Structures are given as C-alpha cells and as structure tokens.
C-alpha cells in the first residue's frame, strides 16, 4: 500500500490586504503582479525622472479617479497609464493618458488588462 503524504496547509497570500489562502506565496489573483520574469521598473521606463513627475502629478490630482466615479473618496497613490504604453515612450509621457488611482484600483485595472480573473473585495 502506498503511503500518502499530507498536503501542506494553505496560508495567507503575501499581497498586502489580500484575504485569499494559497499553497504558494501569492494567490492566483496576485501571483502575476509578483512574477519574476517581468522587466525591472527602470527598464520599463519608471526612472527617477518618472518618480519626480508622477509625484508632482499626484499632488495636483490627489484622489483616485476610479473611486470617485463610484462615489468613494480615496487617496490616489499611483499614476496610471489609461492606455497601456507597452514601451511606447510617446504614450508613456503623454499626460492626457494619465489618471490618478489608488493601489487597489490600479491592481484591478492591470489584472483585467492582462486577462486575469479579478475578484473584487
């Protein structure tokens, strides 16, 4: 008779604020946000120049645009590219393609754009 080893218990997802349980470090919803095959932020254009300009943008636009549409007032912490730039520098630096979002709304938008199933909580 073959001995069956017990499975490891599920543990909380390491993504901040996520209530999901998982076998690995991140749940299926957040694993793509933490994948290691992605280019570094600097290689994707998020340089010190971007940090400086995006902070100034958030000072001018301090509230999450997505939350405001739903009647919530939430501090924006991310400058989102409305149309993903995918390396296109003209689109990357076009301020009319930017919007202020909170981290949660940005994560949901990014996951949706990448074709992942998103669970709202």
pLDDT value of residue 71: 96
Gap between the Cα atoms of 87 and 94, Å rounded: 13
Gap between the Cα atoms of 10 and 111, Å rounded: 23
pLDDT in tens, 89-112: 899 999 999 999 999 999 899 888
CA angle at residue 35 from 33 to 41, to 5 degrees?
75
pTM: 0.63
Tell whether the model's pLDDT for residue 121 goes beyond 50.
Answer: no
pLDDT in tens, 28-59: 888 877 776 666 666 666 778 999 999 999 99
- Rounded mean pLDDT, 15-32: 85
């Amino acid at each position: 008779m073959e001995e069956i080893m017990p499975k490891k218990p599920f543990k909380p997802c390491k993504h901040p604020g996520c209530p999901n349980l998982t076998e690995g470090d991140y749940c299926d919803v957040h694993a793509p946000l933490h994948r290691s095959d992605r280019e570094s932020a600097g290689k994707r254009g998020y340089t010190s120049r971007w940090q400086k300009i995006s902070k100034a943008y958030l000072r001018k636009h301090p509230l999450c645009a997505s939350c405001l549409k739903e009647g919530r007032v939430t501090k924006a912490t991310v400058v989102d590219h409305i149309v993903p730039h995918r390396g296109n520098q003209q689109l990357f630096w076009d301020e009319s393609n930017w919007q202020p979002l909170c981290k949660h709304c940005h994560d949901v938008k990014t996951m949706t754009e990448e074709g992942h199933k998103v669970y709202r909580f």
